[in-house]
Amino acid sequence: MRVINVVGARPNFMKIAPIMREMQKHGGFDPVLLHTGQHYDDAMSQVFFEDLKIPKPDINLGVGSGTHAQQTAKIMVEFEKILADMRPDLVLVVGDVNSTLACSVVAAKMLVPVAHVEAGLRSFDRTMPEEINRLVTDALSTLLFTTSRDANENLLREGHTPEQIYFVGNVMIDTLLAFAKQAEHSDVLERLHLDSKRYAVLTLHRPGNVDNPSTLSRILNALENLQRHIPIVFPAHPRTSDRFRQFGLSERVASMRNMKVIEPLGYLDFIKLTAHAKLVLTDSGGLQEETTVLGIPCLTLRDNTERPITITEGTNTLVGTNPAVIVSEALKVLNGHGKHGRTPELWDGRAAERIIEILARWNPSQLSTAQAA
């Protein structure tokens, strides 16, 4: 079975790595790795291929940056040529980035079945670009692989049939568990002069947080207060660094003596940094999941999450962008009252294995014929 596996941005790489490994081990697949180039620099792309031992992409579309429309359109134009030439049995997409949406639309229009890994996640907030990507991708997908049972329920409510939906667990956690021991060998704490459990980690990149000057300023108000209580390590996303400059906030950020702003880290360094943190503040979806498995209290700087299981079962707490709430919840953690959670069902490191077992039993020729009819 020829499968084009699509990656485009940093969150995708951790998800595709175990799937590619299982396909190569199985022997019944001809896996093709396609990188759209949505994230294209070393800090956001190349270092992840190296850390996760992902093979060099068979195809790189090299689309680069742009607005959502520009980026999606470039990917669609280039991906259409690839599908016309290769005619795969299946296109497999992961997550909710623009590459996921773009390749799903092209594949569906060319009658190539789509499998979506991490299907059914919903924030119910359509102001988030990722929510639009999730909804459209799921609507066009033939096979829907979910990380949690609430995702199954979302898909059933939206009219998908039970035969399409497979609860397999979380491929992001496959990668975390596979590389956790190796990550412990990272010297990132020494390089940054940090002591285990005596610092917080911050990530910030969602458009709703960083593209709005007033929202970003409110978050900085909280950080100004919090960094007086604990050092904060902030691997800054390029988008966020650009907004600091654009909104005239760079000097304000630099004046926070106890907040260490650094370049984005590779996967192994970042996992080590996260695993030894006292607290994580983030607007990232994947980090909500990783902190849950690592047992690290996580404060999510958003009013909603598409990963509610990290709240109901994990270590995650939604705090929004109100400075008083952020600081209050952070101080609870620092005073020893952080949230304790448990690892959700099937987040056991074998999700990719289950996906490949299902794909190996699936008959694409029957489905393609039915779709064409």
305 and 365, same domain (yes or no): no
| Residue 147 within any structural domain of the chain | yes
341 located within any domain: no
pLDDT at 46 over 90: no
The whole-number pLDDT of residue 258 equals: 98
pLDDT greater at residue 10 or residue 280: 280
Give me the amino acid identity at 161.
T
Q: Is the pLDDT of residue 92 over 50?
A: yes
Confidence of residue 132 (pLDDT cuts 50, 70, 90): very high
Pairing mode, if any, of strands 316-318 and 259-262? unpaired
DSSP SS3 for 3? strand
Give the model's pLDDT for residue 41.
59
Q: Are residues 138 and 234 in the same domain?
A: no
User: What is the distance between the alpha carbons of residues 114 and 111, in angstroms, rounded to a whole number?
Assistant: 9
- Let me know: does 218 contact 321? Beta carbons within 8 Å: yes
pLDDT at residue 198 is higher than 60: yes
Tell me which of 60-74, 203-217, 238-252, 285-299 is least confident.
60-74
**Short-list 55, 110, 158, CA closest to 102:** 110
Domain assignment of residue 41, yes or no: yes
Q: Which two tokens stand for residue 355?
A: 């996906």
Model pLDDT, residue 44: 54
66-90 pLDDT per residue, tens? 888 999 999 999 999 999 999 999 9
- Which among 197, 327, 181 is positioned nearest to 273, based on CA atoms? 197
43 — pLDDT class (breaks 50, 70, 90) = low
Q: Which residue has the higher pLDDT, 142 or 11?
A: 142
Average pLDDT over residues 13-25: 96
Q: Which residues lie closer than 8 Å to 17 by C-beta, 6 or more apart?
A: 52, 53, 54, 175
One domain, residues 208 and 67: no
Number of domains present in the structure of the chain = 2
Residue at 87 is within a domain: yes
Provide the 8-state DSSP code for 263: P
pLDDT score for 174: 98
Both 227 and 360 in a single domain?
no
Asked if residue 43 and residue 71 are part of one domain, the reply reads yes
Q: What is the mean pLDDT of residues 353-367?
A: 85
Check whether 126 has a pLDDT greater than 50: yes
Which domain covers residue 230, as residue numbers? 184-334
Give the pLDDT of residue 363: 77
Q: In sequence order, which residues have a C-beta less than 8 Å from that of residue 298 and are 6 or more positions away?
A: 279, 280, 281, 282, 287, 288, 291, 292, 310, 314, 315, 316, 317
Please name every residue paired with 33 in a beta bridge, in sequence order, or none if there are none.
5
Residue 364: what pLDDT? 67
Lowest mean pLDDT among 32-36, 157-161, 266-270, 366-370: 366-370
Average pLDDT over residues 115-125: 98
The values of phi and psi at residue 63, to 5°, are -75, -30
For residues 157-185, average pLDDT: 97
CB 170 within 8 A of CB 346: yes
* Whole-Å CA distances, 305 to 157, 226, 237, 284, 316: 18, 23, 20, 9, 10
Q: What is the residue-averaged pLDDT of the chain?
A: 94
pLDDT beyond 70 at 49: yes
Q: Are 39 and 65 in contact (CB under 8 A)?
A: no
DSSP 279-302: EEEE--HHHHHHHHHHT--EEE-S
DSSP string, 25-55: HHSS-EEEEEE--SS-SIIIIIHHHHHTTPP
Judgement on whether residues 368 and 284 belong to the same structural domain of the protein: no
Which residue, among 282, 325, 287, has the nearest Cα to 300 in the 3D structure?
282
Average pLDDT over residues 326-346: 96
User: What is the average per-residue pLDDT within 81-110?
Assistant: 97
Query: 9 and 48, same structural domain?
Result: yes
Report yes or no on 176 lying in a domain. Answer: no
Same-domain check for residues 249 and 208? yes
Can you list the alpha helix ranges (DSSP code H) found in 4-148? Answer: 10-26, 47-51, 68-86, 98-109, 129-140
Is residue 272 scored above 90 in pLDDT?
yes
Q: Could you list the active site residues?
A: 205
Q: Is residue 342 part of a domain?
A: no
Residue 368, pLDDT score? 44
- Residue 55: its pLDDT value, please? 87
Q: Mean per-residue pLDDT for 227-254?
A: 96
Residue 160 placed within a domain: yes
Q: Check pLDDT > 80 for residue 359.
A: yes
In this structure, are 188 and 312 located in the same domain?
Answer: yes
Query: Per the domain annotation, does 179 fall within a domain?
Result: no
CATH code at position 306: 3.40.50.2000
Instruction: Evaluate whether 9 touches 97 at the Cβ level (below 8 Å).
Output: yes
Pair 144, 287 in one domain: no
| Domain identity same for 189 and 255 | yes
- Per DSSP, the residues of 351-365 read HHHHHHHHHHH--HH
Is residue 131 domain-shared with residue 89, that is, in the same domain? Answer: yes
